[in-house]
Amino acid sequence: MSIEQMVSTILRLRRDNDEFVPPPASETAIVALTERFQREFGLTLPDAYLRVLRLSDGILFDGLTVWPTHRYWLFKESMIEANRDLRETIDESLVYFGKRDDIVFVLDQKRAVYAALEMSGLSVWETFDDAEGLITFMLQRVVDGNEDSA
């Protein structure tokens, strides 16, 4: 299943549960986030993450959070704010794309690998060759956990 198919499934499940469905992020918001992230952290956001934003400006579903371009009532933090906070409190060498329960989905700059890490102790749970694998993994886990509803 592609990233687009999984995000669409998650959005449909939110709609089916009468939950708010975040709108797609505008290209203007995506460009602004990309430029600001580059300025602040010196990093380019991967296409796999931006593809999620083009379908839903953030995801909150079944314990999974994928941070949006900006903070709004459903999300307490934007992608920038979440990275500031987590880089300060957990590890500044990590780039955070999402979290689910006590697992964070990151780019580990020290090891040059995408990974799912346990928040306490940063034990490696799973590693990925690229952002596509990481984003697919984190979305697939909630889609698979809700496949009876799909």
3-state SS track over the chain: CCHHHHHHHHHHHHHHCCCCCCCCCCHHHHHHHHHHHHHHHCCCCCHHHHHHHHHCCCEEECCEEECCCCCECCECCCHHHHHHHHHHHCCCCEEEEEEECCEEEEEECCCCEEEEEECCCCCEEEEECCHHHHHHHHHHHHHHHCCCCC
The tens-digit pLDDT sequence of the chain (150 residues) is 999 999 999 999 999 999 999 999 999 999 999 999 999 999 999 999 999 999 999 999 999 999 999 999 889 999 999 999 999 998 999 999 999 999 999 999 999 999 999 987 878 889 999 999 999 999 999 999 886 544
* pLDDT at residue number 140: 96
Q: Is there a domain that residue 94 lies in? A: no
Q: Is there a domain that residue 67 lies in? A: yes
Nearest partner of 60 among 48, 75, 50, 72, judged by Cα: 75
**Structural domain that includes position 13:** 3-85+129-145
* pLDDT at residue number 120: 79
Q: Is there a domain that residue 58 lies in? A: yes
Q: Is there a domain that residue 80 lies in? A: yes
Nearest partner of 128 among 113, 117, 112, 138, judged by Cα: 113
Domain tally for the chain?
Answer: 1
As a whole number of angstroms, the distance between CA 117 and CA 107 comes to 10
Q: Is there a domain that residue 99 lies in? A: no
* pLDDT at residue number 78: 97
* pLDDT at residue number 147: 67
Q: Is there a domain that residue 96 lies in? A: no
Q: Is there a domain that residue 10 lies in? A: yes
Nearest partner of 131 among 44, 68, 61, 62, judged by Cα: 44
Q: Is there a domain that residue 133 lies in? A: yes
> Can you give the pTM of this predicted structure?
0.92
Distance from the first to the final alpha carbon of the chain: 13
